Structure formats: structure tokens, C-alpha cells
Amino acid sequence: MSIGLFDSGLGGLSVAREIRRIDPTVDIHYLADRSRATYGPRPLHEVRSFAQEITGHLLASGADMIVIACNAASTAALHDLRSTYPDVPFVGMEPAIKPAALHTSTGTVGVLTTAATFQGELFASVVSRFASGVKVETAICEGWVELVEAGEIDGPRAEEIVARHVLPLTEGGADTLVLGCTHYPFLAPLIRAVAGSEVSIVDPGPAVARQAIRIAAGLGLSPGLGSTRFEVT
Ligand code: DGL
């Protein structure tokens, strides 16, 4: 059993690590499309063609299912990929606005995300389906993916870049922050330091990993060897 995962870079590792935590036997093939990162500022049609190309590669390399460990690529391509490969199970990311809307006590939820994810139809549809009666404030967190790609996940400069996007949300009353990009869990300690301990941070990674493992188990394939293969463009 082999699961193919991809992201524009290192962010999807926040999902891969959860999959590995749940299932030590599954084989993981992770592709980081770092030569074309970041996806956030790109038009959706471009991200869609990258996702198609990468999926073709992961399947040709033996993946039995695909986890799109990237919100931007899920927004741009999940629908299309399912029609291109009707027999392949796909698991994608969507902003975790539903649990956040259920959890907030101030009635204001903050979503931290990228331009590509915010632009997509999926974002608007999740807000209209799950956030009625709740105020949803969004921050397009320019510079965050670059921090994670550079491994700069602490220090005064990173804290300043994180604060720039978090403070307007918390000062506007958000008590629950949704991580709408798979790179952001690596910045969670800084987000927490800036936002304060009373603010909740919602990372959809663990739920997506559980869903992936449920689907993998349902395929009835023999277990993998617990190998992890990383590729970087
Ligand atoms: N980690 C990605 C996401 O979840 C991609 C971010 C980017 O490359 O801008 O959206």
C-alpha cells in the first residue's frame, strides 16, 4: 500500500507526519514541487496543471492513492483530478472552517491562508455551508510559505511576519484561527506566541490523515514496508 502526497514544498510534511504517526506500515511517496513554489500567488489554472503532472508521476511510480497535501492545489485541481482518474482515491484539503465555526465563542473565526485558496470556489462554498451566523475574517499570509521553506520558523523576523497577519484577526475578535495552508502548522508555535494561549488553532492535517488511512484500509491492499520516499523538483 503506497500513498502519494504532494505539495508546493515542505508544507505537506505536516500531513505526511500525521499519516506516518497513525500507520507505520504504509509506504509514503512525497513530492515537494519546490522549483515552482510558492503556489499561493499563482493563477489556479497553472496550479491545476502542476497538480495533474505530479499526480501522473506519483501514479506511474506506483502510488495506490493520492493525498493532495496542499490547500491551493486541492482548490485548483481536486475536482479535475477525480475526473481524470475516476478509479484513483483522492483526499484533498479544505479550510477547517466547520470545526472552527462550531468552536468559536466570540463568533469570529480567523482563516490564515494563501491567495490561491482564498480565490477558489471551495473557500466560498465552505464558508456558506458551515459558517452561517459566524463572522469569517481572512488573512492572506504573504511571506509565511517562504519562511517555512527557508526553515526560518522562529526568531524575531519570523515573529514579526507572523504577527503582521495574526494580530489584525485577534484584535478584530477572532478566538479561533484556521490554518488554511499546510505550511502553517510549522509556524504554530509562533502563531500561538503572538495570538496568546486563549486562542484556538485548528489544523486540519490530523483529520485529513485519518481520512486517508481509512480510505487506504478500505482498498484491501497488502500493507507496505513503512518506507518513505522524498522527491523534490
Ligand atoms: N502548502 C500549500 C497550501 O496548503 C501551498 C502554499 C503555497 O505554495 O503558496 O496551500
Mean pLDDT, contiguous 10-residue spans, the chain (233 residues): 97 98 97 97 97 98 98 97 98 96 97 96 94 96 98 98 98 98 98 97 98 96 94 98
Rounded Cα gap, residues 113 and 180, in angstroms:
4
Q: Between helices 121-130 and 71-84, what is the axis angle to 10°?
A: 100
Cβ–ligand 1 distance for 104 under 6 Å, the answer no
Q: Are strands 108-113 and 135-140 parallel, antiparallel or unpaired?
A: parallel
Cα–Cα nearest to 39, from 30, 31, 28, 50: 50
Distance 8 CA to ligand 1 centre (A): 6
Choose among 146, 186, 147, 138: nearest CA to 165: 138
Amino acid in the structure at residue 76: A
Respond yes or no: is residue 141 known to be catalytic.
Answer: no
pLDDT in tens, 168-195: 999 999 999 999 999 999 999 999 999 9
For the Cβ of 147 lying below 6 angstroms from any atom of ligand 1, the answer is no
| Residue with grid cell 499570509, as numbered in its chain | 141
pLDDT digits (tens, 9 = 90+) for 152-171: 999 999 999 999 999 999 99
**pLDDT score for 216:** 96
- Cα(147) to ligand 1 centroid in Å equals 12
Which residue's C-alpha cell is 496542499?
A: 70
pTM of the model: 0.97
Distance 60 CA to ligand 1 centre (A): 24
User: What's 126-186 look like in SS3?
Assistant: HHHHHCCCCEEEEEECCCHHHHHHCCCCCCHHHHHHHHHHHHHHHHCCCCEEEEECCCHHH
